[in-house]
Amino acid sequence: MTPAADSYGSAEGVAAFSGTWTNDGEFLDATVYVAASNPTLTTVETWIDEVSAMLNTALGNYGFETPLTSSKSLLVAGAIVNRLVSDLVDFARSKGRFLSSGFEKSGMSIFQALMNDLDAWVLVYAPGIEANGDPRTGAGVRIGFRSHDEAGEAITPIFQRKEFGNVIRDWDKNE
- How is the chain split into domains, by residue range? 11-141
> Any idea what the Cα angle at residue 68 is, between residues 108 and 11, rounded to 5°?
65
Enumerate residues 6+ apart whose C-beta is below 8 A from 65: 134, 135, 136, 137
Residue 69's pLDDT is 94
Q: Helix, strand, coil proportions of the chain in percent (round to 5)? A: 50, 5, 45
List the single range of 16-20, 68-72, 112-116, 140-144 with lowest mean pLDDT: 140-144
pLDDT band at 2; cut points 50, 70, 90: low
Mean pLDDT calculated for residue range 69-96: 94
Alpha-carbon distance values, 85 to 8, 96, 115, 154 (Å) = 11, 12, 13, 46
Q: What is the pLDDT of residues 87-135, one digit of tens each?
A: 999 898 888 899 999 998 999 999 999 999 999 999 999 999 999 999 9
Q: What angle do CA 110, 77, 7 make, to 5 degrees?
A: 80
CA angle 105, 110, 112 (to 5 degrees): 95
Over 90: is that where the pLDDT of 164 sits?
Answer: no
Q: Are 100 and 36 in contact (CB under 8 A)?
A: no
DSSP letter (8 states) at residue 136: B
Helix (H) or strand (E) holding 77, with range, is helix 71-92
Lowest mean per-residue pLDDT among 18-22, 119-123, 158-162: 158-162
Q: What's the pTM? A: 0.74
Model pLDDT, residue 84? 97
d(CA 64, CA 154): 31
Dihedrals φ, ψ of 114, to 5°? -65, -45
Q: How many CB atoms lie within 10 A of CB 34?
A: 13
Q: Which residues contact 103 (CB under 8 A, 6 or more apart)?
A: 97, 113
pLDDT over 70, % of the chain = 84
Peptide bond into 127 cis (omega under 30): no
Q: What is the pLDDT averaged over residues 74-90?
A: 96
Quick one: pLDDT at residue 53? 96
